[in-house]
Structures are given as structure tokens and as C-alpha cells.
Structure 1
């Protein structure tokens, strides 16, 4: 694929040559026309005036007859039958004969009528020498100058084009900055181009180091977070196995376990987002309804005593091939948002053959807030204490990572509808099982 700058320069020079050629051709066409209708006409008029002067001195003076002109004289009172047939009907003045392209000047005086014919071959020869040949020489001169200028310009921009080719081959995740090392630059790269190469080499090094630091931080932080989560999960399991545990404590321990599982799912999601896109995460077939039911059970604890009902409607039972924890994070974030911003009414999750729809009767969002809903740290209702504004941003990134689409439709003081549409696997639609009924809190 040609790079932009050399291609634009080449097109500019081609356009310049074409425009110059057209301008020269038009100019010499005008010159040839003026030569034909002005210079030759003036020459014939002068030749006629000179002849009549000679005729007055000596009536026996013959009309002009040389390599360029043919003259015919019809004296007053005589017939014009001695003229060539194509000259007989001509009236006084300048004429161009369409049959053979000859130029004729007819001059009538008291002594008779003079016909001066400028021969076609001579007119053509003069036109070639005075119009065509200079035009060709001018065109060749313009083409030569344009070619030399183009070659010089190409040499000037070739270092920039080389840099563009090198940078275009960079993998954003692993930029190959070695090609821009000072010792590997072409010998003809000097001045600003060499400074640009050094700047790009430095920038590539900083980007590569930053990416490596982010990968290391994500990997190390995830590993370190798993250790206390494992301790929390084991300790809560042991506490639940104790005899005579009060029901209130059991509920608290179960909430601790659900929060631990949610945290593990978030860690897995962050690790997936931190991996290169060409590294496929561990995936498996799972029931979408089962994941939604688990997240709905966890989200009901957020409702507390609010007059809100959370319903799950499995219209279909699709299976999905992906990491199950990813769908846990996506659905969990949507449900937590719906429960947090709904003060009365219902939160409904509908599982369809190719999508999951979360709708609520909460506070909704204005159009300007809806347009920014997926921005990191943006909150439509900052006066509410829950949330950091990262949930929908994480949902969007996870959906994009697995080829799903997330859309929001919201009306202020009416509610919000979020739809996750899954991309079907290669070869057909998502597999489904028979539908079941609705469960409600």
C-alpha cells in the first residue's frame, strides 16, 4: 500500500504537468489562430498595397507569383473566367477556403480586382515552425524540469516515507523499535528526519516499558489478591460448617462468600482484559440462565427493604462458549446498577435466544448522561453514594473483547433498559434449550 506523502507528491507533479501542457497547447493554439487571421491577413494586405503601387507605375506589372503566394488580376471590364473556379464567387475581403485550407485576400480597386492566395503548404510549414515546434520544445522543457524536480522531491521525502513504513509495521502491543535505533538509520537520513526517528525510537521505548509495567502490575496484583480471597472463602466455609450458627450470621457469611466469588470474577475479567487480544482465554460451554440466576440472587441483597421486585424470565435457555466469570461480571454490574438506582417498582432480567435484557423502573438518565454512560468514572447521579463510575466501562470493554454488543436505552424518571447481544459461534445461532417460567423475589 503506497504511503500518503510520496503518492501525493507524485499526483501533484502529474497534475502540474497536465495543467502546464494544456495551458501551452491552448496558448499556441491561440497563437496559431492569431497568426492565421492576423499576421497572414496583414501580410496579404501589405502585399496587395505594394502591388497596386507598382501597377500605377506600370500597368504591365504582373501579379505576385512566388513560393508562398499566387496572384491573379482581373482588370476592370474583363470576365473572371480566367480565375480558378474556387476563386470566382469570392467577394472583397479575407477568405479561408474550406476545400483546401488556402487563405485568400480579395482587393478590388478601380483598375480591377486582385486575388492573392497564400499557399496551403507554405501556411502549414510556417505554422509548424512558429507554433507546433515551439510548443513541443516548451512541453519537453516543462516535462524535463518537472521530472528533475520530482526526483529531487522524492529524495527529500524518502526518509519520511521510510519512517512511515517502519512505524506502520509496529505491533501496538510489541512495537519493534530496534529498526529506529540511531545506528540502524539509513545514511541519507539527516536533519529533521533523523530527529523524528530518534523521537519515535524514544517514544516506542517508553510505550513498550509502560505496557510491560501494566502487564506486570495486573499479573502481580491479581496473584496477590487471590491469596486473601482464598483465606476468606476457606474461613467462611469453615464457619458455615460449625454447629448452632445463628441464622443472621449464616446470612452474613453467605454474603461474604458471594462477594468473594464476585471479586474472583472481577480479577479474572481484569486478567482477560490485560492479556493480548490474540491470546484466547479459557472458555467453556455454560448455561446463560444459570449465571443470571446466581447474579440475581446476589443482587437481591442490595435491595434491602426497598419496595422493588427482581424478576428473572428465561424466555430461552441459550448456551454460551466463553469464560463464565466474564458473564458474571457483566450481568452483575448491570444488576447492581439497576438495583442501586431503582427505588420502587421492578428490575427484570429477560434471557432471550441471543441476548440478555436488564430493565428497571428506576431514575433513568437524561440524553446527555446516556451519551456518556460508558465513560470511565462518569456517574449519572453523583449524589448517590454507591458506585465509582467504572462498572459500565468494564462491561463495555469485556463485551468488545468477546464480540458482544451492549446497548442502553433510558428515559429520565422512567427507567433504563440494557441489552447484551451475543455473537453466535461460527456455523450458526446460539444453541438453546426449552424455555421455563419466571422466578421472582
Structure 2
């Protein structure tokens, strides 16, 4: 089952999660970096107020001094009251004396200094921010890990959710792709039932597709019924016309100058009967095939050649049969006869000199004429119903090759066509797996 859309949705949400996570980390780190100095200043101010309050009762109370906080007091008389030891303390004291009153920062020590001058002296409080920076780095690492875990969870949940949403659509697409109206007796597709956990969109699409299938099925049924009924209704008057024309032609009292029109009537009747036979075959449902039997292909070909031979003699064209094999088929013989009849009539209609050769091989029938041929543009549309390269030509209705191809597809006899202008046309019927 294709997973392209769920993967793309997952990637999109993962990308959004990455951007959101990085933005969150930058914002938090920026806020913490700015806020650390604010916190340090509030801390120093609270320590200073507490020390001055105690000093009112205890003048010897020393300033606070520790790892993260160092305090020095310089009385107005200039005597230092602080615990000063080592070079670092001395260096700090030199920096403290030069610092302005209030808060100030020193980058090399990563600290904040408060100079608080009140009655009796000046208090110097220096806070180190290294511990705060370590805590901030740990927090940043924790946020990064949280972001990675969030991305993983969001990616997994998004993929699962999108997969549940998309897979019912794929299943519906597969079912619709497998459905063919011509493969069903009534042309109606099977019920498209998405899974119960599919969304309302998939269920609505399923209902819409099933409704469309029912409408298409009704169109297919109407087409078949019309083709079948019309073919049956046309066969009766054609039979009357053919019998009447035969009787008139056989009557000795018929003048010779009327034989030519009667011959044209008989030819037109034969053409129409061939079309009706093809339509009747195509109008049948897949499950109602014409009756099959084992027959000799050459016998069917000879029968069709006898039907059209008067047409070729009238135009002084040759009609030859080259028997290289005598294959037998287990199929409806009338279908093959209809296909050959259309090919022979097409060859007769578009050939003015030369003739038509029919070659019978073990697994195929080749019908080759010496007619006008067809260009590449005409070959692209030659199977379109009612298409004619010359719409003003009197011969042909433009449906012969379309019927031949449809019958060949229906019964597993592929039809191949080769042609070139001025070089004639060659049509090959591959007999396929119905050979006996």
C-alpha cells in the first residue's frame, strides 16, 4: 500500500516541531540570560538590606563572604572591615574601590557588583553567576532532549493518524481501479465499504463513488439493451430486403439494366447484416457469450471469401488465399467471420488496383491489400468509431476497423495494423490461446 502521503504529512509535522522546538529553546535561553542578572541584582539588594539592618545593632557584624557571594565593607574612616586573604581578594578590592555606586558588571569574573553607600561606610557585594550559568546550561540540555523526544512522539503520532486517514482512500482507489462496468452482468460495482474507523470523508467518498458506479452501470445497460433491440429489429426488414432482391434478380422477366441496382442493394444488405452481427455479439454481456465450437479456420475464411468475391470481380481485383497451416479454434465461428468480412470489405473499398491476399498461418491470419494505405496521423485514429480519413468518400462508414478491434479484444484475438500511404495495408489477427 503506498505510504507517500502519510510520510509527507509526518515530515511536515516533524519540520514544524523542529522549528517550534528551536524557537522555544532560543526564547527560553534568551529570557534566562536576561533574567539571570535581574535575579542577581535582587539577590544582592536583599543581602545588602539584611546586612545594614543587622549592622545597626552589631557594628562588628562582618559582610557576607562565600563561594558565590563576596562582601567587603569600607567605613568612612578608611579602615577595611572584611576578611581579605589572597591575591584574588586584593584584586577584587581594587576593582571594587573604582566601581561606581549601584550595580555594575565585570565580564572577566562573570559577576555582578553592588556598591551601596550609606551612613557610616560603603558596602561592596559581588555575586558570581557561574553556578547560575551551569544551571542554565543544564536546563538548555534538558530542553533539547525534551524537544527531540517531542519530535519523535509528534512524528510517530502524526504518521499513525495520517495513515489511518489515508489508507481507506487508497483502498477505495484500488477497488475503483479494479472495477470495470463491462465485466459485470449489470454493470454495477461491488459495494465500496471503508473500514469502520475511516473518517467521514472516506465514507462520503465511498458513497459518491458507488452512486457514480450505479449511474455508469445504468448507462452501460441501456447501451447494451438498445444495441441488442435495435439489431434484432433491423434484422427483420433486412432479411425481407435481401430475399426480395434475390427473387427479383432471379426473375427472368427482370430487365438487364436493373441487375446492377439489384446487385448494389444486395451488397448493401450484406454489409448491414455484417454490422448487425457484430453489434449483436458486442451487445451480449460478458457472461453470455455466443456458442463456441471447434471449427476449421480455413473453412470460415473460404466462406467469407465467397461472399465478397463478386465485389472484387466487379472491380477486377484479385482475391487470393494462401494456406500455410490449417489451425482450429474453439470459439464462436461467426465472430471470426464477422471480423474477416469487415477486413475484406475494407480492402475492397480502398483498393483500386491489385487485390487482397489472405494468409493463414499456425497462430494468425494476415489480410494484406494493395490499396491507398494510411498515414501515421490516420493510423492514430483509425480505430475511432465513424472516423474516415476522407469524410466525403462514398465507401465505408468508418466503423469497420473499430468493430474488428472490439471483437478481437473481446475474444482474445489481438489485432495489429501496419500501413503506409501508397503501399497498402496489412492487418494481422493473432488467434491467441483459443487454438486447439
Q: TM-score, normalised by structure 1?
A: 0.60
Distance apart, 1:384 and its partner CA:
2.4
Distance apart, 1:288 and its partner CA:
1.6
Instruction: Give the Cα separation in 2 of the matches to 1:219 and 1:405.
Output: 24
Q: Which residue among 263, 276, 280 is the counterpart of 2:289?
A: 280
* Structure index of larger Rg: 2
Contact kept in structure 1, 2:13 and 2:154, CA below 8 Å: no
Contact kept in structure 1, 2:189 and 2:214, CA below 8 Å: no
Distance apart, 1:130 and its partner CA:
5.7
* C-alpha RMSD of the superposition: 4.8
Distance apart, 1:393 and its partner CA:
0.6
Contact kept in structure 1, 2:17 and 2:154, CA below 8 Å: no
Q: Which residue among 11, 17, 28 is the counterpart of 2:7?
A: 11
Where is the helix percentage greater, Structure 1 or Structure 2? Answer: 2
Residues 212-221 or 260-269, more deviating:
260-269
Instruction: Give the Cα separation in 1 of the matches to 2:420 and 2:4.
Output: 49
Distance apart, 1:414 and its partner CA:
1.9
Pair 1:336-2:359 in alignment: no
Say which SS state the counterpart of residue 206 (structure 1) adopts: helix
Pair 1:355-2:351 in alignment: no
Q: Which residue of 2 aligns with 1:303?
A: 312
Unpaired segments ≥5 residues, structure 2: 24-84, 91-133
Contact kept in structure 2, 1:283 and 1:321, CA below 8 Å: yes
Q: Which residue of 1 aligns with 2:336?
A: 327
Q: Which residue of 1 aligns with 2:299?
A: 290
Distance apart, 1:340 and its partner CA:
1.3
Instruction: Give the Cα separation in 2 of the matches to 1:15 and 1:366.
Output: 52
User: What is the number of residues matched between the two proteins?
Assistant: 334
Instruction: Give the Cα separation in 1 of the matches to 2:386 and 2:267.
Output: 25
Q: Which residue among 326, 340, 346 is the counterpart of 2:355?
A: 346
- In structure 2, the CA distance between the partners of 1:374 and 1:171, relative to structure 1 (3 Å rule), is closer
Q: Which residue of 2 aligns with 1:207?
A: 216
Contact kept in structure 2, 1:269 and 1:325, CA below 8 Å: no
Contact kept in structure 2, 1:300 and 1:310, CA below 8 Å: yes
- In structure 2, the CA distance between the partners of 1:245 and 1:293, relative to structure 1 (3 Å rule), is farther
Q: Which residue among 270, 285, 294 is the counterpart of 2:279?
A: 270
Instruction: Give the Cα separation in 1 of the matches to 2:203 and 2:433.
Output: 49
- Please list, as runs of the form range in 1=range in 2, the aligned pairs for 1:202-241 lying within 5 A after superposition: 202-232=211-241
Q: Which residue of 2 aligns with 1:373?
A: 382
Distance apart, 1:359 and its partner CA:
1.2
Contact kept in structure 2, 1:303 and 1:340, CA below 8 Å: no
Q: Which residue of 2 aligns with 1:113?
A: none
Q: TM-score, normalised by structure 2?
A: 0.60
Residue deviations 1:276-314 (CA, integer Å, cap 9, x gap): 334433111222222222222222333354342121111
- In structure 2, the CA distance between the partners of 1:16 and 1:372, relative to structure 1 (3 Å rule), is same
- In structure 2, the CA distance between the partners of 1:362 and 1:260, relative to structure 1 (3 Å rule), is closer
Q: Which residue of 2 aligns with 1:401?
A: 410
Instruction: Give the Cα separation in 1 of the matches to 2:160 and 2:309.
Output: 74
Contact kept in structure 2, 1:258 and 1:298, CA below 8 Å: no
